[in-house]
Structure 1
Amino acid sequence: MPSSESLRAVREKTVLDHFRDEVRQEWDDVLSTFPHPRYELVPTMTVHDGDTAVRGYYHDTRVAFPDQHHEIIALRHADDAVIVEFWLMGTHQGPLGKIPPTGGSFRVRMTAYFIFEDETLVCERVYFDTLSMLRQLIGGLDRRNPRNWLLMVRCLRGLLAMSGGEPDPALTR
């Protein structure tokens, strides 16, 4: 556990401000919560490191899910982190990488580790089940309706194209 209640309070405020500003899509405010923004997305084995990369991540995810929001389930403190369990929700209105929009919505349970050095946030490391999300986005399509067949094929091709990349070495060491 952090050595003092004041340190815990500072870290918790940073995390809650970060979450609030992400939902508001106030990117400058979110980025102000850490001096060098870094997201590690463990399920996709990708890292977004630095201002430009993180802003690109924000842009891409909000094009795909413009209404993305969350509900915090629990918040816990560790020696070097604040750990948050939450529901992430949104509606697939734009492309998600190479997966075309399906109009489907999702609700996925996630865990984010906000890693700190003293009072300074240095990384948000996120864990979630990508299959649960994809099943909700694609699974809602009526497979019996021929009008959806082309979209389902495009979704499958997009998913296959996205799954062939090399994992970020920072997540495999």
Structure 2
Amino acid sequence: MITDDVRRARQKLVLDHFRDEVRQEWDDVLATFPHPRYELIPTMTVHDGDRAVRDYYDETRAAFPDQDHEIIALRHSDDAVIVEFWLTGTHRGPLGAIPPTGSRFRVRMTAYFVFDEKEELVCERVYYDSLTMLRQVLGGLDMRRPRNWILAVRCLRGLLAMSGGEPHPALVDTTPPTFG
């Protein structure tokens, strides 16, 4: 069982991490990890190491420059802080191969901030329904306007170009726990 002091320290680190992400203070966010690592379960991708995580920040904030969050709940486990939150933003730049639509989104997410035995943050593992996000980003297009037809086709092509990639092996090759 973790102590109250450990719980408070972890919670402060996680809340600072969230705050600094919204402020786009990347050096401060990265300082919460000894080695930055994000695992995005819906896309089965891993961003591992300083450069990969900075690229992830650049890509997501180009797509959603006003990205923000609303925390719903924060829970503690023996090796993680689990945060439920709403992620919000406006699609102002390319999201991978999907061109900007100008649509807003609000999607419910859960992030597991996993700590090791030295109480260092080793990973942020994020779960969310990507279809809900895409439906909001693409569904905001007014299809009564013919100029949006071309954008819708470009978005569909972009979505197809992004699908079918190989999942990261660390997210597929898992070992079941041993229950005593």
After TM superposition, the score normalised by the length of structure 2 is: 0.94
Q: Within 1, Cα distance between the matches of 2:21 and 2:86?
A: 14
Q: How far apart, CA to CA, are the structure 1 residues paired with 2:57 and 2:97?
A: 16
* Equivalence for 1:106: 105
Q: Aligned partners of 1:155, 1:81: CA distance in 2, in Å?
A: 37
Deviation at 1:166, TM superposition (A): 0.7
Matched length: 172
Aligned residue for 2:143? 143
Q: Which SS does the other structure have where 2:149 is aligned?
A: helix
Deviation at 1:142, TM superposition (A): 1.3
Give the deviation of 1:3 after TM superposition. 2.2
**Residue correspondence of structure 1 range 20-169 to structure 2 within 5 A:** 20-118=19-117, 119-169=119-169
3-state SS of the aligned residue for 1:48? strand
Secondary structure of the 1:167 match is coil
Q: Which residue of 1 aligns with 2:6?
A: 7
SS in 2 for 1:108: strand
Whole-angstrom CA distance in 1 between matches of 2:133 and 2:124: 20
Q: Give the Cα separation in 1 of the matches to 2:41 and 2:152.
A: 26
Moved more, 161-170 or 44-53: 161-170
- The CA distance in 2 between the partners of 1:45 and 1:150, in whole Å, is 29
Q: In structure 2, how many angstroms separate the alpha carbons of the residues matched to 1:85 and 1:99?
A: 27
Percent same amino acid among aligned pairs?
77
SS for the counterpart of 1:29 is helix
Task: Give the CA deviation at 1:144.
Answer: 2.2
Aligned-partner Cα distance in 2 for 1:67–1:16: 19
Which whole-Å CA distance do the structure 2 matches of 1:117 and 1:172 have between them? Answer: 21
Deviation digits for residues 92-130 of structure 1, max 9, x if unmatched? 000000000000000000000000014210000000000
Q: CA deviation at 1:37?
A: 0.2
Displacement over 2 Å in runs of 4+: none
Residue aligning to 1:17: 16
Task: Give the Å deviation of 1:143.
Answer: 1.5
Counterpart residue identity of residue 19, structure 1: F
Distance 2:66 2:142 in 1: 23
DSSP 3-state at the match of 1:30 = helix
Return the offset for 1:43: 0.1
- Find the aligned partners of 1:107 and 1:17 in 2 and give their Cα distance: 22
Q: CA offsets, 1:24-44, max 9 Å, x none?
A: 000000000011000000000
Partners of 1:139 and 1:104 in 2: CA distance: 8
